[in-house]
Amino acid sequence: MEDLTQEEWVEQLENDNNAVILDVRTDDEVEDGKIPNAIHIDIYRGQEFISELEKLDKSKNYYVYCRSGNRSGQACKIMSQLGFANAYNLMGGMLQWEGDIE
Protein backbone atom coordinates (compact mmCIF):
# COMPACT_ATOMS: atom_id res chain seq x y z
CA MET A 1 0.00 0.00 0.00
CA GLU A 2 1.16 3.48 -0.79
CA ASP A 3 -0.29 6.85 0.21
CA LEU A 4 -0.24 9.28 -2.70
CA THR A 5 -1.03 12.98 -2.93
CA GLN A 6 -3.71 13.92 -5.43
CA GLU A 7 -1.04 15.01 -7.92
CA GLU A 8 0.90 11.73 -7.57
CA TRP A 9 -2.31 9.68 -7.70
CA VAL A 10 -3.57 11.36 -10.88
CA GLU A 11 -0.19 11.29 -12.63
CA GLN A 12 0.39 7.63 -11.83
CA LEU A 13 -3.18 6.73 -12.77
CA GLU A 14 -2.93 8.47 -16.16
CA ASN A 15 0.20 6.48 -17.01
CA ASP A 16 -1.10 3.12 -15.79
CA ASN A 17 -2.65 0.79 -18.38
CA ASN A 18 -3.47 -1.72 -15.63
CA ALA A 19 -5.42 0.69 -13.39
CA VAL A 20 -8.76 0.30 -11.62
CA ILE A 21 -10.31 3.14 -9.57
CA LEU A 22 -12.09 1.95 -6.43
CA ASP A 23 -14.50 4.07 -4.37
CA VAL A 24 -15.05 2.64 -0.86
CA ARG A 25 -17.55 5.27 0.37
CA THR A 26 -21.19 4.73 1.34
CA ASP A 27 -24.03 4.80 -1.20
CA ASP A 28 -25.14 8.21 0.11
CA GLU A 29 -21.66 9.66 -0.37
CA VAL A 30 -21.43 8.28 -3.92
CA GLU A 31 -24.75 9.97 -4.80
CA ASP A 32 -22.92 13.30 -4.36
CA GLY A 33 -20.60 12.33 -7.22
CA LYS A 34 -17.66 10.03 -7.86
CA ILE A 35 -14.45 10.01 -9.82
CA PRO A 36 -15.23 8.93 -13.42
CA ASN A 37 -14.96 5.19 -14.15
CA ALA A 38 -14.67 4.26 -10.47
CA ILE A 39 -16.17 1.01 -9.23
CA HIS A 40 -17.98 1.29 -5.90
CA ILE A 41 -17.70 -1.15 -3.00
CA ASP A 42 -18.72 0.21 0.41
CA ILE A 43 -16.09 -0.68 3.03
CA TYR A 44 -18.77 -0.52 5.76
CA ARG A 45 -20.41 -3.66 4.33
CA GLY A 46 -17.96 -5.83 6.28
CA GLN A 47 -17.79 -9.38 4.98
CA GLU A 48 -19.66 -8.39 1.81
CA PHE A 49 -16.86 -5.87 1.15
CA ILE A 50 -14.28 -8.67 1.46
CA SER A 51 -16.36 -10.94 -0.80
CA GLU A 52 -16.62 -8.24 -3.46
CA LEU A 53 -12.86 -7.59 -3.28
CA GLU A 54 -12.20 -11.30 -3.77
CA LYS A 55 -13.99 -11.11 -7.15
CA LEU A 56 -11.53 -8.49 -8.43
CA ASP A 57 -8.38 -9.17 -10.46
CA LYS A 58 -5.52 -9.07 -7.94
CA SER A 59 -2.95 -8.36 -10.65
CA LYS A 60 -4.45 -4.94 -11.42
CA ASN A 61 -3.31 -1.69 -9.81
CA TYR A 62 -6.04 -0.23 -7.60
CA TYR A 63 -6.41 3.49 -6.97
CA VAL A 64 -8.57 3.67 -3.87
CA TYR A 65 -10.39 6.67 -2.41
CA CYS A 66 -13.03 7.63 0.14
CA ARG A 67 -14.20 10.91 1.65
CA SER A 68 -11.02 11.83 3.56
CA GLY A 69 -8.45 9.09 2.97
CA ASN A 70 -8.98 7.11 6.19
CA ARG A 71 -11.30 4.33 4.95
CA SER A 72 -9.41 4.04 1.67
CA GLY A 73 -6.21 3.55 3.68
CA GLN A 74 -7.92 0.76 5.61
CA ALA A 75 -9.18 -0.73 2.34
CA CYS A 76 -5.65 -0.71 0.89
CA LYS A 77 -4.35 -2.58 3.94
CA ILE A 78 -7.13 -5.17 3.62
CA MET A 79 -6.39 -5.55 -0.10
CA SER A 80 -2.71 -6.08 0.63
CA GLN A 81 -3.60 -8.81 3.17
CA LEU A 82 -5.80 -10.45 0.53
CA GLY A 83 -2.89 -10.62 -1.92
CA PHE A 84 -3.53 -7.64 -4.20
CA ALA A 85 -0.32 -6.58 -5.95
CA ASN A 86 -0.81 -2.81 -5.71
CA ALA A 87 -3.25 -0.53 -3.91
CA TYR A 88 -2.74 3.23 -3.83
CA ASN A 89 -4.53 5.41 -1.30
CA LEU A 90 -5.66 8.92 -2.28
CA MET A 91 -4.62 11.12 0.64
CA GLY A 92 -7.30 13.69 1.47
CA GLY A 93 -9.94 11.76 -0.48
CA MET A 94 -12.90 13.52 -2.05
CA LEU A 95 -12.63 16.40 0.43
CA GLN A 96 -9.49 17.56 -1.38
CA TRP A 97 -10.27 16.19 -4.86
CA GLU A 98 -10.00 18.84 -7.56
CA GLY A 99 -10.49 16.62 -10.60
CA ASP A 100 -13.60 15.60 -12.54
CA ILE A 101 -16.58 13.96 -10.89
CA GLU A 102 -19.62 12.28 -12.42
The tens digit of pLDDT for each residue in 18-75 reads 999 999 999 999 999 999 999 999 999 999 999 999 999 999 999 999 999 999 999 9
pLDDT the model gives residue 79: 98
Instruction: List residues with catalytic annotation.
Output: 66
Instruction: Give the dihedral sign, CA 89/95/100/102.
Output: positive
CATH class, domain 2-96, is alpha beta
Nearest to 94 by CA among 62, 64, 73, 68: 68
For residues 85 and 19, the answer to whether their CB atoms sit within 8 Å is no
pLDDT the model gives residue 1: 82
Question: 88: which strand partners?
Answer: 2, 63
For residues 43 and 74, the answer to whether their CB atoms sit within 8 Å is yes
For residues 94 and 66, the answer to whether their CB atoms sit within 8 Å is yes
Q: Residue 80 pLDDT more than 90?
A: yes
